[in-house]
């Protein structure tokens, strides 16, 4: 039996909003299903004139109608309700009730308000296909009831073809653009060799076998597709219902998709299509609080590169499919973050199968077939409009502050000139009543005004000079070298906060990746800047793990910039296709309060292709001293799926071990270039986590105990605040807030420990991590001993200086050749000159003990040379000792800054060089460098100076050995 409900209008509704109106709509519910009318904004006597049809089988069902007031920022307000039984309509003459006015009732009987307004409705039932049933049968059949919504003013003919409906919608959308991607992210961004019309028909035509086949492959059941209809608003809609297969987190649930063609835009060759699918799953936890919206955009694809065997007049059509998503919350909830993360993970898995299934029907467009890659097309569109210096000066300096300063200054100088003239001396120059120039109180007032206005003008002038310098910086230059190329297109920002609430910020952004930084230009006095600038990082040997984004507020060239917010992009956890167009939410108190975000397009490419894994393993073999075999593609694929890693990540080694928590858990430890991960499966309960190598602060070896079955253990300490996604695998959290992971009972502890330590040290630490490590170790020991002016060598043991490893590398030269760097010969002089050292003098090595020699060096840093930020003289004492166990040397050096070096008398730098042969290789040696800073006197600038010393000295050591190897191999 079909029940038709006609919702006509309402009158005398109460005002629910502060503006004296309501935004009413009607929600209807019968059984488990509901629907609603459109919203009439700012009205107390709305007119809907919409018709709804329900398929029901039980006369005992009740139709409940609630008039609601839409509220965009909170839960919708209840106005009134009306309930009628299906049996009442069935018993009426001819099974219909003509339009009548019905009074709306309150939700609760006890209420002070008496008038809730009235609503005019009409009802009818179609008795042709109705067969009365017993109550039990009626109850069973009611569970399969459903409803169909159709427009009152436009009923579509069911025989109208899908193509004819599209042409009708197309005629209503001429001249309109395809909407932009939704804010949740991009799920699919792939071009196919087919026309847009063919792809659209295959995906959404009711006659296509695509949706049933995909549902069958994903385990979806009870699929029902309602026919497409065109409503009074000119939009083409349909409803699709199905039961989603059970997953690891939730049971099988029913889902309802409301699909709507937003745009059908005709083109010169091919049309473009935009379809929005709103998915509701009320049976999942918090399912009534949100809907998932998915936007399908089908546009003409890129042109293919010409082929030799292709005729010139032959044109192959391509189409670009872009699928994006977002979560639309209908009610506020504290579980918003959890819901979005769960939805994101589920959609990734679903649309991975979607792409694989679609690729069987249409051939995807490979990047090598394109005349220009999508990356180049996107970056080419980001043309930066360079601002002229005249326009920049007028924008910054063209204000009342500068103008009034110039007028007052000219007025005073003109007065002084006229006062010196005989003709105007009796007139007092330009003086007037209340202003006595130049020897009165008025002179003081004018001077004060000049000082204040001049200070403001100088600050603006400084901003102009800094902006002019920043505007001319080098952006968008093609990166050099082979390896991993990182390209960042900075589009703009949104809702950036300001430290001073009275003014808008002057934002600029600093990108940091693998110790390299790129800085954007400054945008003045705006919270929503637009940059359209491109930054490229030089080629990197290993794929980067994290890129840091810091947004600063510029406050003049002589002031420290204020941090407005920050964010990190984790390339291991991110899908590179999603980073092609992404909005990044900023962290920080100010950024989170303002909901600040930046718009980026990030591309990470490997120019060396499949050789990247082999090159990395060859590099590790030099450090490890052992052959490392490349795993099979099947093993790598399994490893990537286990931890949901990108395709460029590959496994190096794995070990069986126990994870020590409250109860030891047996599993496997996996090692790759960027992560260390653990996986266990105990009776179907899986434990999987991983963290980055660069998040590790310390690895400690624990002696064997009875609990570890007589085997040593490894304790891994992460940096504070890092690895929070893996905290469920941590044994504890120490007093510093660091997560601690403990692994024990390795089959071969020596092999596992050696591999882990080599990989950890090979992952170069950032300068910030090295500075922090040295700062902590230097501050923990207040050293008061001083180095004698006579130059006598003071060893590290004598001063108790704590050294930290800052550099480790394998050189393709022998120990004897590399030791020429400390011989005082030609190589020694050439390297020191290349580092910017002048007036280089040294003593010859003198034997002070058996196998121990000593010498002194002094040289001068030239201003602006090397990595030094100052100039001055340095005296160094070196001591070298022959290693007993291996062919090699240990060089200890104490560096004492002299005149010209700021705070040079407050500190000395202690460095230890260990150079030894690699056993399995000829003409190769390993270099290990440690350093520490000894503070001889206390100063408030100790922390800042330590950071500068360590950063400069580590860079100098790296350059020193790099230049030495180049000069030796060039002979």
Residue 390 lies in a domain: no
> What does the pLDDT read at residue 277?
92
Q: In this structure, what CATH number is given to the domain that contains residue 530?
A: 2.60.40.150
What is the token pair recorded at 642?
A: 């286990």
- 863 or 888, higher pLDDT: 888
- 68 or 783, higher pLDDT: 68
Are residues 191 and 279 part of one domain?
A: yes
Q: What distance in Å separates the CA atoms of residue 713 and residue 690, rounded to the nearest whole number?
A: 18
Look at residue 765 and tell me whether its pLDDT is greater than 60.
no
Q: What distance in Å separates the CA atoms of residue 835 and residue 288, rounded to the nearest whole number?
A: 67
> What does the pLDDT read at residue 598?
92
Residues 963, 831: contact at Cβ < 8 Å?
yes
Residue 398 lies in a domain: no
Residue 417 lies in a domain: no
Contacts of 95 (CB under 8 A, 6+ apart): 89, 124, 125, 126, 127
Name all contacts of 86-90 with Cβ < 8 Å and 24+ positions apart: 86/3, 86/30, 86/56, 86/58, 86/59, 86/60, 86/61, 86/62, 86/125, 87/59, 87/60, 89/3, 89/123, 89/124, 89/125, 90/1, 90/59, 90/125, 90/127
Q: What distance in Å separates the CA atoms of residue 454 and residue 446, rounded to the nearest whole number?
A: 12
Residue 433 lies in a domain: no
Look at residue 41 and tell me whether its pLDDT is greater than 90.
no
Are residues 345 and 213 part of one domain?
A: yes
Transcribe 289-311 into DSSP letters. Answer: GEEEEEEEEEEE-PPBPP-TTS-
825 class by beta-carbon count within 10 Å (0-12 exposed, 13-18 middle, 19+ buried) = exposed
Are residues 646 and 594 part of one domain?
A: no
Average pLDDT over residues 311-332: 77
Q: How do residues 693-715 score in pLDDT, each as one tens digit?
A: 888 988 999 888 777 667 889 99
Average pLDDT over residues 727-745: 90
Q: How do residues 818-848 score in pLDDT, each as one tens digit?
A: 888 888 888 888 888 888 888 888 888 888 8
Are residues 629 and 599 part of one domain?
A: no
As a whole-number percent, the residues of the chain with pLDDT over 70 amount to: 75
Are residues 588 and 623 part of one domain?
A: no
Q: Please state whether the peptide bond connecting residue 68 to the residue before it is cis, i.e. omega within 30 degrees of 0.
A: no
> What does the pLDDT read at residue 138?
36
As a whole-number percent, the residues of the chain with pLDDT over 90 amount to: 9
What is the token pair recorded at 771?
A: 């500075």
Residues 336, 293: contact at Cβ < 8 Å?
no
Strand partners, 888: 916
Q: What distance in Å separates the CA atoms of residue 215 and residue 258, rounded to the nearest whole number?
A: 17
265 SS3 class? strand
842 SS3 class? strand
Q: Taken in order 434, 435, 438, 442, is the CA torsion positive or negative? A: positive
Are residues 622 and 583 part of one domain?
A: no
Average pLDDT over residues 591-608: 83
Q: How do residues 908-918 score in pLDDT, each as one tens digit?
A: 888 999 998 88
Q: Quickly state the pLDDT bin for 131 (edges 50, 70, 90).
A: very low
Total residues belonging to the chain: 971
> What helix, strand, coil percent values describe the chain, rounded to 5?
30, 35, 40
Helical packing angle, 441-471 and 389-397, nearest 10° = 140
Look at residue 793 and tell me whether its pLDDT is greater than 50.
no
Average pLDDT over residues 16-32: 84
Listed range (113-117, 428-432, 459-463, 486-490) with the worst mean pLDDT = 428-432
Average pLDDT over residues 728-749: 89
Are residues 240 and 265 part of one domain?
A: yes
Average pLDDT over residues 861-887: 68
Q: What distance in Å separates the CA atoms of residue 117 and residue 245, rounded to the nearest whole number?
A: 45
Average pLDDT over residues 381-396: 64
Average pLDDT over residues 209-227: 86
* Residue 691 CB-half CA count within 13 A: 23
Q: What distance in Å separates the CA atoms of residue 23 and residue 43, rounded to the nearest whole number?
A: 6
- 52 or 794, higher pLDDT: 52
Look at residue 553 and tell me whether its pLDDT is greater than 80.
yes
Residue 378 lies in a domain: no
Look at residue 264 and tell me whether its pLDDT is greater than 90.
no
Mean of all residue pLDDT scores within the chain:
77
Q: Outline where DSSP puts E strands in 301-423.
A: 319-329
* Residue 954 CB-half CA count within 13 A: 27
Q: Taken in order 879, 884, 889, 893, is the CA torsion positive or negative? A: negative
The last residue of a domain, from among 606, 630, 657: 606
> What does the pLDDT read at residue 398?
73
Q: Quickly state the pLDDT bin for 905 (edges 50, 70, 90).
A: confident
What is the token pair recorded at 363?
A: 């051939």
540 SS3 class? strand
Strand partners, 55: 2, 146
Look at residue 785 and tell me whether its pLDDT is greater than 60.
no
Average pLDDT over residues 844-864: 78
Contacts of 331 (CB under 8 A, 6+ apart): 75, 288, 289, 290
Compute CA 440 distance to the chain's CA centroid, rounded to the nearest angstrom: 63
C-alpha angle 204-210-211 in degrees, rounded to nearest 5: 70
Q: What are phi and psi of 492, to 5 degrees?
A: -175, -175
- 151 or 573, higher pLDDT: 573
> What does the pLDDT read at residue 90?
83
Q: In this structure, what CATH number is given to the domain that contains residue 923?
A: 3.30.530.20
Look at residue 668 and tell me whether its pLDDT is greater than 90.
yes
Q: Quickly state the pLDDT bin for 871 (edges 50, 70, 90).
A: low
> What does the pLDDT read at residue 426?
57
Q: In the chain, what is the straight-line distance between the N-terminal and C-terminal CA atoms, in Å?
A: 97
Q: How do residues 939-953 score in pLDDT, each as one tens digit?
A: 777 777 787 788 888
Q: Quickly state the pLDDT bin for 743 (edges 50, 70, 90).
A: very high
Q: What is the residue range of 551's domain?
A: 484-606
Residues 739, 718: contact at Cβ < 8 Å?
yes
- 52 or 500, higher pLDDT: 52
The last residue of a domain, from among 606, 630, 656: 606
Q: What are phi and psi of 909, to 5 degrees?
A: -110, 125
Look at residue 586 and tell me whether its pLDDT is greater than 70.
yes
Q: What are phi and psi of 152, to 5 degrees?
A: -70, -40
> What does the pLDDT read at residue 740?
94
Average pLDDT over residues 812-823: 86
Look at residue 130 and tell me whether its pLDDT is greater than 70.
no
**DSSP H helical ranges for 508-660:** 589-594, 611-624, 633-643
State the Rg of the chain over Cα: 37
Q: What distance in Å separates the CA atoms of residue 876 and residue 275, rounded to the nearest whole number?
A: 72
- CA dist 768 to 535, 803, 945, Å? 22, 17, 13
| Neighbour-count burial for 941-970, b at 16+ CB within 10 Å, e otherwise | ebeebbbebbbbbbeebbbbbebbbebbee
Residues 636, 650: contact at Cβ < 8 Å?
yes
Q: Quickly state the pLDDT bin for 482 (edges 50, 70, 90).
A: low
Q: What distance in Å separates the CA atoms of residue 959 and residue 632, rounded to the nearest whole number?
A: 37
Residue 709 lies in a domain: yes
Look at residue 656 and tell me whether its pLDDT is greater than 70.
yes
Are residues 20 and 169 part of one domain?
A: no
- 290 or 145, higher pLDDT: 290
Are residues 177 and 272 part of one domain?
A: yes
Are residues 647 and 762 part of one domain?
A: yes
The last residue of a domain, from among 67, 102, 126: 126
Q: Where is 138: in which H helix or E strand?
A: helix 135-142
Are residues 247 and 122 part of one domain?
A: no
> What does the pLDDT read at residue 466?
60
Look at the chain and report how many structural domains it folds into.
Answer: 5
Residue 776 lies in a domain: no
Average pLDDT over residues 408-421: 74
Q: Quickly state the pLDDT bin for 309 (edges 50, 70, 90).
A: very low
Q: Where is 251: in which H helix or E strand?
A: none
Strand partners, 740: 717, 732
C-alpha angle 411-416-421 in degrees, rounded to nearest 5: 125
Average pLDDT over residues 368-394: 59
Are residues 284 and 241 part of one domain?
A: yes
Residue 96 lies in a domain: yes
Residues 795, 893: contact at Cβ < 8 Å?
no
Average pLDDT over residues 595-608: 83
Residues 299, 196: contact at Cβ < 8 Å?
yes
> What does the pLDDT read at residue 140?
36
Average pLDDT over residues 788-801: 46
Q: Quickly state the pLDDT bin for 717 (edges 50, 70, 90).
A: very high
């Amino acid at each position: 039996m079909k029940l038709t409900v006609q919702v006509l209008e309402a009158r005398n509704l109460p005002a629910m909003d502060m503006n004296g109106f309501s935004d009413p709509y009607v929600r209807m519910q019968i059984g488990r299903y509901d629907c609603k009318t459109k919203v009439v904004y700012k009205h107390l006597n709305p007119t809907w004139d919409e018709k709804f049809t329900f398929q029901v089988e039980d006369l005992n069902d009740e139709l409940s109608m609630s008039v609601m007031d839409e509220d965009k920022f909170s839960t919708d307000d209840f106005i009134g309700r009306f309930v009628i039984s299906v049996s009442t309509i069935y018993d009426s003459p001819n099974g219909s009730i003509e339009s009548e006015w019905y009074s709306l009732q309150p939700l609760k009987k006890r209420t002070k308000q008496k008038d809730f307004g009235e609503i005019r409705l009409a009802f009818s039932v179609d008795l042709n296909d109705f067969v009365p049933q017993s109550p039990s049968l009626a109850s069973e059949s009611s569970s399969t009831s459903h409803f169909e919504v159709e427009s009152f003013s436009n009923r579509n003919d069911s025989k109208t073809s899908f193509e004819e409906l599209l042409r009708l919608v197309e005629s209503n959308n001429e001249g309109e653009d395809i909407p932009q991607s939704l804010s949740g992210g991009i799920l699919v961004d792939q071009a196919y060799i087919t026309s847009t019309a063919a792809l659209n028909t295959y995906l959404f035509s009711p006659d296509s076998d695509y949706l049933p086949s995909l549902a069958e492959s994903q385990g979806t059941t009870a699929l029902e597709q309602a026919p497409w209809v065109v409503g009074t608003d000119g939009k083409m809609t349909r409803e699709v219902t199905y039961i989603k297969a059970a997953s690891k987190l939730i049971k099988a649930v029913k889902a309802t998709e409301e699909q709507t063609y937003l745009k059908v835009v005709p083109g010169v060759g091919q049309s473009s299509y935009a379809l929005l699918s709103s998915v509701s799953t009320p049976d999942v936890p918090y399912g009534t609080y949100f809907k998932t919206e998915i936007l399908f955009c089908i546009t003409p694809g890129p042109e293919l590169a010409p082929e030799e065997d292709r005729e010139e007049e032959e044109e192959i059509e391509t189409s670009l499919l872009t699928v994006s998503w977002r979560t639309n919350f209908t009610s506020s909830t504290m579980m918003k973050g959890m819901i979005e993360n769960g939805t994101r993970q589920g959609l990734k898995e679903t649309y991975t199968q979607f792409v694989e299934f679609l690729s069987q029907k249409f051939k995807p467009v490979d990047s090598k077939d394109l005349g220009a890659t999508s990356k180049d097309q996107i970056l080419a569109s980001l043309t930066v409009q360079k601002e002229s210096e005249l326009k920049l000066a007028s924008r910054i300096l063209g204000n009342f502050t500068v103008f009034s300063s110039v007028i007052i200054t000219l007025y005073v100088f003109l007065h002084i000139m006229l006062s010196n003239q005989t003709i105007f001396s009796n007139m007092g120059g330009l003086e007037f009543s209340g202003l006595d120039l130049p020897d009165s109180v008025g002179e003081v007032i004018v001077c004060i005004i000049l000082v204040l206005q001049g200070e403001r003008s100088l600050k603006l002038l400084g901003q102009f000079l800094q902006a002019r310098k920043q505007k001319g910086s080098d952006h968008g230059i093609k990166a050099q070298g082979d390896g991993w190329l990182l390209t960042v297109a900075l589009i703009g920002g949104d809702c950036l906060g300001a430290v001073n609430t009275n003014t808008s910020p002057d934002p600029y952004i600093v990108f940091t990746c693998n110790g390299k930084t790129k800085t954007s230009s400054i945008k003045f006095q705006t919270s929503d800047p637009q940059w359209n600038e491109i930054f490229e990082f030089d080629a990197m040997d290993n794929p980067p793990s994290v890129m840091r984004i810091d947004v600063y507020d510029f406050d003049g060239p002589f002031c420290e910039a204020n941090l407005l917010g920050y964010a990190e992009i984790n390339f291991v956890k991110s899908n590179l296709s999603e980073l092609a167009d992404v909005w990044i939410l900023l962290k920080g108190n100010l950024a989170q309060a303002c909901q600040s975000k930046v718009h980026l397009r990030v591309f990470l490419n490997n120019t060396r292709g499949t050789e990247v894994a082999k090159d990395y393993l060859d590099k590790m073999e030099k450090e490890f001293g052992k052959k490392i075999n490349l795993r099979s593609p099947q093993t790598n694929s399994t490893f990537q799926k286990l931890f949901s890693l990108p395709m460029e990540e590959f496994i190096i080694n794995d070990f069986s071990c126990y994870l020590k928590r409250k109860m030891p858990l047996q599993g496997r430890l996996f090692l790759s270039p960027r992560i260390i991960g653990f996986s266990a499966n105990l009776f179907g309960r899986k434990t999987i986590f991983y963290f980055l190598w660069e998040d590790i602060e310390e690895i400690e070896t624990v002696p064997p105990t009875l609990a570890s079955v007589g085997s040593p253990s490894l304790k891994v300490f992460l940096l504070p605040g890092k690895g929070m996604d893996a905290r469920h695998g941590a044994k504890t959290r120490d007093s510093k807030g660091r997560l601690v992971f403990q692994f024990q009972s390795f089959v071969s502890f020596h092999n596992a420990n050696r591999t882990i330590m080599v990989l950890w040290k090979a992952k170069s630490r950032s300068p910030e991590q090295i500075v922090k490590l040295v700062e902590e170790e230097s501050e923990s020991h207040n050293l008061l001993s001083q180095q004698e002016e006579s130059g006598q060598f003071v060893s590290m043991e004598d001063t108790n200086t704590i050294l930290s490893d800052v550099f480790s590398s394998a050189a393709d030269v022998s120990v004897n050749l590399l030791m020429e760097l400390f011989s005082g010969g030609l190589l020694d002089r050439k390297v020191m000159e290349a580092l910017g050292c002048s007036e280089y003098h040294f003593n010859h090595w003198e034997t002070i003990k058996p196998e121990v020699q000593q010498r002194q060096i002094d040289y001068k840093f030239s201003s602006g040379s090397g990595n030094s930020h100052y100039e001055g003289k340095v005296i160094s004492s070196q001591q070298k000792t022959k290693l007993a166990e291996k062919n090699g040397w240990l060089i200890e050096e104490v560096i004492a800054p002299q005149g010209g070096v700021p705070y040079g008398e407050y500190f000395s730098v202690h460095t230890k060089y260990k150079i030894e042969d690699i056993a399995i290789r000829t003409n190769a040696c390993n270099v290990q460098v440690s350093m520490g800073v000894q503070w001889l006197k206390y100063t408030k600038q100790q922390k800042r100076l330590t950071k500068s010393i360590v950063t400069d000295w580590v860079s100098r050591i790296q350059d020193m050995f790099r230049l030495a190897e180049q000069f030796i191999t060039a002979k």
